[in-house]
Structure 1
Amino acid sequence: MRSLERLLRPKSIAVIGGGFWCRNVVRECRRSGFDGPLWPVHPTRQEIDGVPAFSSLGELPGIPDAVFVGVNRHAAVELIGELSRRGAGGAVCFASGFREATAELADGGDLQAALVEAAGDMPFLGPNCYGFINALDGAALWPDQHGLVAAERGVALITQSSNIAINLTMQQRALPIAYVVTAGNQAQTGLSEIGEALLQDDRVTAIGLHVEGIDDLRRFETFARKAKTAGKPVVALKVGRSEQAQGATVSHTASLAGSAAGASALFRRLGIAEVRSLPVLLETLKLAHVTGGLPDGRIASMSCSGGEASLIADTATGLNVTFPPLGKDQKAALSEALGPKVALANPLDYHTYIWNDIDAMGRTFAAMMMGDVSLGVVILDIPREDRCNADDWYKVIGAIEYAARTSGKRMTVLSSLAETMPEVFAAELMTKGIVPLCGMEEAVAAIGALAAVSGPLPEGDILLPAALTGVATLSEHEAKDQLKAFQVPVPDSLSVLGGEDAAHAAERIGFPVVLKGTGIAHKSDAGAVALDLNSPDDVLTAAARMPVTTLLVEKMVTGTIAELLVGVVLDPAHGYVLTLGAGGVLTELLKDTVSLTVPASAEEIETALKSLKIGPMLTGYRGGLACDMQAVVRAVLSVQSYVASAAVEEVEINPLLCGKDFAIAADALIRCGAVNDG
């Protein structure tokens, strides 16, 4: 494993090039307070932004720890090679025109390969990236403006987008940022390796990722496990769609479990909090920085407005955030502090009777924190100080501190609008260990995201995706034979040609039977399924109506309580994705699915099944019969076993018929090929 220590925490910095961007790097290093040697390199200039320059690398008085290479792409390859031979600690390759530009430049891919070869064991970031800012040590190999200030500890941000990195540095939410690192093309050093290096800095409290594509799935898994062990939450915003993951549209599974579902399943498995926007990314990181993570989403909400109490309750719907009801002791303490006129509930509207009475406010907040909650939320919007007086609002901090001190639990101040949380006020709250959350939707989403990944990570590695060639779709009969060999229950069946053979086959199997046309996707839509046939004549009539003559005769399964979809799709970016959901004709209508990474444990599978909208049908809806949940779970585990042993692109069982003592695959589709070892 390459060490990024010298690159990310340099004692000396060289800047190669003389253009606008390189001048900015020199300027930003000086502005950030970097106190080590700073060596501009240019063949003709005497100085760069007031700092004496050297004409070549050979003239430098020492070997630089970190180098910003700000020259054209061909020269960059040569210089990276020279830096590697001289033993430099690492480099930033600013130039573009490599693999990201292969559509425009035919040599882009080859030049990137040459860059990686030239670097050898010396780590470098990029190409096509801005570099990094280390606000802890004042190192800024950064060719543009940024909004960071010196920090003693804080979160680290890693992104493939340099422009998004700049934008994130401009936040005014009082989030302390220790590092911003851009990965560019990830030609050699990717998100995972950067993340592992930043975890080693004790001053880093959490890591935020803006992800376009994961560099190395196994390495990413290792990084996530190390972060969990270190107690440093990871928060990710994933963008982009994988065409490969959605390329196979033959089945429902492929359309339901594309790249987005695969990414979400991967993040859940690895304990990474997934968010959907940059503001939520920042708020979640702020919460993680102060709390180190939340055990759950049980909160106490306090505001002096019924409108705010209702709003936060509505906003939390479906976001893994709950408001535990008040207990007897809480109500007694609240009544003593608030008097008889206030309706007691969580969320609490404490009205304005105690406004400006800091003692009563403190007792109110402390009473709310007596319950089974993990986080206290005080909704407080600061008036704009250019037009109003906010002194009375600032006094509330004392009451919040009292509640935090007496309860031993974390407290937050939540502004319903981002604009009503002044940065100076937010920064003061941070110094007191109180989390300033900006914006109702962002704040609640942040709490839910962090709480959703509180548990331990599952044991065992994820199943890595394979590169396949010669992928073909098996017939239903062939698919069921393969699954049956792995103990997936299937109905007795015979593959035949024409109606006469089908009628004879039905008599051998025993009525009632199902007749299917083979070689057809979505058979029900094509009129290629006939159910509950009870005689040879029924079979002959049904066969005559089939759109094909190749038929499958199958024993009819009776006593079905629920129908499920069970599918696995190879997602090249995120591994094998297991999708469980409502099956049969309800699949497209309900879109009731949940996705997991393979392999999922029996416990994870059962929990996922019960989380479905049709979950109550599996466990006995309104006193009805329950399905044999253990049989259902065994069938899913058997599908996973098959996937782990075969060169599979996709498996789908739809429906898996579930009854009180069975789980049987009534229809199956498999797309498989051979592993491409090249």
Structure 2
Amino acid sequence: METTQNSAADLSRLIRPRSIALVGASDREGSIGERTLTNLVTHSSFDGEVYLVNPSKSEIRGQRCWPSVASLPATPDVAVVAVPASGVLTVIEECAARGVAFAVILSSGFGEAGAEGEREQQRMKEIAERGGLRLYGPNCPGLTNVNGRLGLTFSPSFPHDLTPGPIGLATQGGGLGRNVMQAMERGIGIGLWASTGNEVDLQVADFIHYMAEAPDIKVIVTLLEGIKDGPKFVAAVQRAAANGKPVIGLKVGKSEYGRRAAQSHTASLTGSAEVNSAVFRQFGVIEVDDIDELVDTAWLFARAMPGAQDALGIYCSSGGTAALTADAVGSAGLTLAAFTPETTEVLRAKLPAYAAIGNPVDTTAMVLSDKTVVETTLGCVANDPNLALTIVPIALDYGETTTRLADNIINAQKGCAAPIVPIWMSDRLGEGYQKLVAAGFAPPHSVGKAISAIGRWVEYGRWQRANTGAEPRVLPPLAAPLGDGATRSLSEAQAKARLREAGIALLPHGLARSAEEARALADGMGYPVVAKIASEQIVHKSDIGGVQVGLQDGAQVEAAWREIMASVLKHQPGATIDGLLIEKMAPRGGVELMIGVTRDPVFGHVMTFGLGGIYVEIFRDVTRRLLPIGARDAAAMVREMRSFALLDGARGRPKADVAAVEALLVRVSDFVARHADRLEEMDLNPVWVGAAGEGAMPLDAVIVERTGTPA
């Protein structure tokens, strides 16, 4: 899982600085400079040196002010910049000249504000790079190190969101980030929040990488509007996975509306939603769809990491609630465990004969009359070795009874390694709820939300186990495309020549430049054959009558030449025709698949694999991977198809040559790697795969490549 490239910056002096300069410090109530000063001096516990910079003040709150960064008596580790946009570049020049390590730029009015702001932002970056200054922001709410109780931020919420904890949060936007911060009210704290704004330099990926190594961070949460450097992001999440730290990600900009909003907000690339999701799955990022799901999932991981077991237990005192929860477990594709005989014996002895002692457990209303029921049975269930975790749905706040249940949950968890997950379903947040929060249980508020989080938890455990011992992945740097963006499509004959050179198996074929030559080629390879128009300008050959299949003899081949040429002349008279590609037909039977490759602007080349022919457009049963891939990825891609059963001998069909398909995927990946600077798209559709031992080969091939020389 490790990568040696795209190394992130050492952020230790930014996260835990020894000295800080606040440029734009102010005593004007409500101003950015005043709020930042208050958070830094009043609400933080910072024992280093704080320098105030304001050319119009000699002192603020009894502390000396300096007129500029250049005039400071010592060089600070961090400069927090809280001046109007018009003055930021001057401050950055002074910081770079002085040797300041980091500048946190709170000011807005740059890349998010239009073309002129973007030019100013670029100048800022150039100044900083010349002086070795690392930039955080601009257009950001600052940096909050809760575990170190340090707020480099103007937010008035800083003093209210100071519950330390094992979760690290990296976002681009401030509002959603603060929303997640305030989920501290659920009982688990966030140790570090980085909100990177326009990311002129430091990116979310840099902070994921830092958190992957930080000893006080156990779980990493990220909210992304765009990813500027795909390989750096992948390197960061690989580092987190290698260190056993899950990354929970929420990516906005999946719809056209969302993409527009994200771009106007951060001026970031948003990338393709399908590609982003594929990269997340490939590298173990747990993707969620909204803030509630993000919080429930992250808080569950902060409580416990998944182990070897997958199966769940349900413990409840309401039959209807137990059934509702069991339905949700089943609908999510999760499994209820079978209790050990020892657990069943305890439940039989402690619960009435009419209680449900299977899974789910329904204690019935006996909990109202016998206060010891939960105390003597919940711990037994939660400790059953067949369970990954125990779900305790609480349908209502029943006063003292529910408070006692909360106490029993807390006590049972103390003697149990697997997590107990209480679900607080009532809008009445009484004493029982408050006790669970104080004990760090972070109860989800509905069965659906809880099961969604548990499903992500279980799925990540499976991903971890499947990737244990995986060979280190070293991703190549993003290949710079050739030229000015102009492209050309190779003819099928040219594309197949490239594939043959790469060692990819193909059916016998040849390019004919006359009807007679077409017949001779067909006679030589044996019938039946396929005839296809050969032209760089014609990609969708079937649409214009450019393909005929099942030709059984020489006369049919010559007739096909005449008919295809006439049809192409009618539909696309300006096309340059190379001739006809004559190809041996694939054996009868087999399954049609497809392999596609596209260049994503953020991550680079991405492979798409799935059912081929017309079915790819109808069923869209595809899987994706960021290239390059190896044998493990290829095997996973094939088996992730919903229709994998078609290859695996469903309903008496012969098993397909899956090994040949996997080998072909790897060969295509290798081919793309060798031509990464030039290759723009590739479409192998259909790819024929026969029964075991018969192989897999592309029947059609489209390659689009960049023209020109390197820019």
- Scaled by the length of structure 2, the TM-score of the pair is 0.84
Aligned ranges 1:117-156 → 2 under 5 Å = 117=129, 120-146=131-157, 148-156=160-168
Could you say which residue in structure 2 is the equivalent of 1:449? Answer: 456
Could you say which residue in structure 1 is the equivalent of 2:624? Answer: 595
Contact 2:491 2:534 in 1 (8 A): yes
Question: Which of 397, 408, 413 lines up with 1:404 in the alignment?
Answer: 413
**C-alpha deviation, 1:200, in angstroms:** 4.1
CA distance in 2, matches of 1:576, 1:420: 51
CA distance in 2, matches of 1:551, 1:327: 69
What value does the CA root-mean-square deviation take over the aligned residues? 3.2
Contact 1:304 1:352 in 2 (8 A): yes
**C-alpha deviation, 1:91, in angstroms:** 1.8
Could you say which residue in structure 2 is the equivalent of 1:372? Answer: 386
2:627 is the counterpart of 1:607: no
**C-alpha deviation, 1:130, in angstroms:** 1.7
Moved more, 472-481 or 61-70: 61-70
2:318 is the counterpart of 1:305: yes
CA distance in 2, matches of 1:220, 1:599: 16
Contact 2:121 2:200 in 1 (8 A): no
Question: Which of 589, 595, 615 lines up with 1:566 in the alignment?
Answer: 595
CA distance in 2, matches of 1:7, 1:179: 12
Deviations 1:254-278 (A, max 9, x none): xxx9722222232233222221212
2:11 is the counterpart of 1:4: yes
Cα gap change, 1:591 to 1:326, in 2 (>3 Å): farther
**C-alpha deviation, 1:538, in angstroms:** 3.3
Question: Which of 678, 691, 697 lines up with 1:664 in the alignment?
Answer: 697
**C-alpha deviation, 1:587, in angstroms:** 0.6
**C-alpha deviation, 1:290, in angstroms:** 1.5
Could you say which residue in structure 1 is the equivalent of 2:94? Answer: 82
Could you say which residue in structure 1 is the equivalent of 2:525? Answer: 509
Could you say which residue in structure 1 is the equivalent of 2:495? Answer: 479
**C-alpha deviation, 1:92, in angstroms:** 0.8
Moved more, 537-546 or 199-208: 537-546
Deviations 1:73-94 (A, max 9, x none): 3421221222233343422112
CA distance in 2, matches of 1:521, 1:112: 46
2:612 is the counterpart of 1:583: yes
- Scaled by the length of structure 1, the TM-score of the pair is 0.88
Contact 1:415 1:437 in 2 (8 A): yes
Question: Which of 346, 349, 353 lines up with 1:336 in the alignment?
Answer: 349
Aligned ranges 1:222-621 → 2 under 5 Å = 222-240=235-253, 259-293=272-306, 295=308, 297-316=310-329, 319=332, 321-326=334-339, 328-355=341-368, 357-369=370-382, 370-381=384-395, 383=397, 390-401=399-410, 403-416=412-425, 419=427, 428-429=435-436, 432=439, 434-454=441-461, 455=464, 456=467, 458-459=470-471, 460-469=473-482, 470-497=486-513, 501-519=517-535, 520-546=538-564, 547-548=567-568, 550-621=579-650
2:667 is the counterpart of 1:651: no
Cα gap change, 1:674 to 1:544, in 2 (>3 Å): closer
Contact 2:44 2:151 in 1 (8 A): no
CA distance in 2, matches of 1:242, 1:640: 29
CA distance in 1, matches of 2:642, 2:607: 17
Moved more, 97-106 or 282-291: 97-106
CA distance in 2, matches of 1:291, 1:186: 33
CA distance in 1, matches of 2:271, 2:230: 17
CA distance in 2, matches of 1:373, 1:215: 42
Q: Which amino acid aligns with 1:591?
A: R
Cα gap change, 1:655 to 1:212, in 2 (>3 Å): same
Could you say which residue in structure 2 is the equivalent of 1:165? Answer: 177
Question: How many residue pairs are counted as aligned between the two chains?
Answer: 658
**C-alpha deviation, 1:187, in angstroms:** 1.6
2:36 is the counterpart of 1:25: yes
CA distance in 1, matches of 2:85, 2:348: 71
Q: Which runs of 5+ in 1 are unaligned?
A: 247-256, 384-388
Cα gap change, 1:272 to 1:371, in 2 (>3 Å): same
Could you say which residue in structure 2 is the equivalent of 1:92? Answer: 104
CA distance in 2, matches of 1:94, 1:406: 47
Q: Which runs of 5+ in 2 are unaligned?
A: 1-7, 260-269, 569-576
SS across alignment from 2:372:
helix
CA distance in 2, matches of 1:97, 1:272: 33
Q: Which amino acid aligns with 2:293?
A: V
Deviations 1:509-564 (A, max 9, x none): 21111222344434445544333221234334444543327432211112333221
Cα gap change, 1:538 to 1:427, in 2 (>3 Å): farther
CA distance in 2, matches of 1:426, 1:136: 25
Deviations 1:365-393 (A, max 9, x none): 3454425221211112453xxxxx63211
Cα gap change, 1:394 to 1:512, in 2 (>3 Å): same
**C-alpha deviation, 1:69, in angstroms:** 0.6
CA distance in 2, matches of 1:30, 1:426: 35
**C-alpha deviation, 1:308, in angstroms:** 3.2
Q: Which amino acid aligns with 1:563?
A: E
CA distance in 2, matches of 1:310, 1:538: 66
Question: Which of 198, 201, 205 lines up with 1:185 in the alignment?
Answer: 198
Contact 1:94 1:129 in 2 (8 A): yes
CA distance in 2, matches of 1:524, 1:314: 48
Contact 1:67 1:91 in 2 (8 A): yes
Contact 1:467 1:675 in 2 (8 A): no
Cα gap change, 1:131 to 1:559, in 2 (>3 Å): same
CA distance in 1, matches of 2:630, 2:375: 46
Could you say which residue in structure 2 is the equivalent of 1:254? Answer: none
**C-alpha deviation, 1:24, in angstroms:** 1.0
CA distance in 2, matches of 1:201, 1:426: 32
SS across alignment from 1:461:
coil
SS across alignment from 1:395:
helix
Cα gap change, 1:412 to 1:130, in 2 (>3 Å): same
Deviations 1:222-281 (A, max 9, x none): 3223323433322111223699xx9xxxxxxxxxx9722222232233222221212222
Moved more, 315-324 or 441-450: 315-324
Deviations 1:310-338 (A, max 9, x none): 44344446756432344555444433333
Cα gap change, 1:236 to 1:552, in 2 (>3 Å): same
**C-alpha deviation, 1:606, in angstroms:** 2.1
Cα gap change, 1:45 to 1:583, in 2 (>3 Å): same
